[in-house]
Amino acid sequence: MFDVAGKSVVVTGGASGIGLGYAQIMAERGARVCILDVDAEGIARAAAELGGGTWGQIADVTDRPGMETAFRKVAEAHGGIDVVFANAGIDAGPGFMDPLGNRNPDGHIENFGDAHWDRVIAVNLTGVYNTVKLAAIHMKAGGGGRIIVTSSVASQINEAIVGTPYMAAKAGVDHFVRNMAMELGAFNILINCINPGPFMTNIAGGRLKNPADRAAFEAQSLIGRIGALDDIKGLALYLASPASSYVTGAQIAIDGGSRLR
């Protein structure tokens, strides 16, 4: 029921964090995994750690020709594409600070850094569109498949810490996925969102590793802690496997209940 052995799997942003967790569980269960990421060193580290034929390609989800080439290479190497995790995402890195040095300065739109808005929307929303489009093309050719998109609970609730462009992008992702579910169901392609709450990863410069930030997020969780990669692997496996064959267009929160406070 949870069998993914031999499946051809693509994970965008799989060199680190949540995407690495997806790649780990898929490889552990015998799938053939290709990581697409902008971090060459991270790809090499992940491929060495996972073994079992896991490989990767440098690809930026905002670069359409580059993504087309990367997907084509996976399809050629694996004989098709069965499961795609559209996961790559960014929060505000130091390069995308607003002029005042904050991600979301004092709530005033006139103080927003336009470059920050453009890049977060490009990676987190347009990057998902690019990835899902290519997944659909290859899966239609192969007779079906599974697409799992990493959204965020910030798509549904106000989380000032991640910034307005991030929340807007993730809300767009949720609705895009619902619309794609309506279109792709007839082609035996199921598409769902995983909506994480705070997880200990490198996003936003590893802010969650900072003790003060971490304590604030732990206090928000109903079970007193933030997420670890093992917390998300079971859901990823479920959505990639025959166990979820009647699930599409869903947004599944995995956040220790923190969105309820």
Q: Can you give the binding site for ligand NAD, defined by CB under 6 A? A: 12-13, 15-19, 37-39, 42, 60-62, 87-90, 123, 127, 150, 152, 196, 198-199, 201-203
Could you tell me which residues come within 8 angstroms of residue 30 by beta carbon, excluding any fewer than 6 positions away? Answer: 4, 5, 6, 52
Assess contact for 165 and 121: CB atoms under 8 A: yes
> Which of 19/113 has CB closer to ligand NAD?
19
Q: Of the two residues 9 and 61, which places its CB atom closer to ligand NAD in the complex? A: 61
Query: Hey, is 250 helix, strand or coil?
Result: coil
Using the minimum distance from each CB to ligand NAD, give the nearer residue, 19 or 163: 19
Q: In whole angstroms, how close is the CB of 62 to ligand NAD at the nearest point?
A: 5
In whole angstroms, the minimum distance from the beta carbon of 20 to ligand NAD comes to 7
Nearest-approach distance from CB 81 to ligand NAD, in angstroms: 17
User: Rounded to the nearest 5°, which phi and psi values hold at 192?
Assistant: -140, 160
Helix axes 64-78, 127-142, angle to 10 degrees: 30
Q: Point out the residues that are catalytic.
A: 166
Q: How far is the CB of 110 from ligand NAD (least distance, A)?
A: 26
DSSP H/E element including 194? strand 189-196
> Could you give the angle at which helices 40-50 and 17-28 cross, rounded to 10 degrees?
30
Nearer to ligand NAD, 113 or 196 (CB): 196
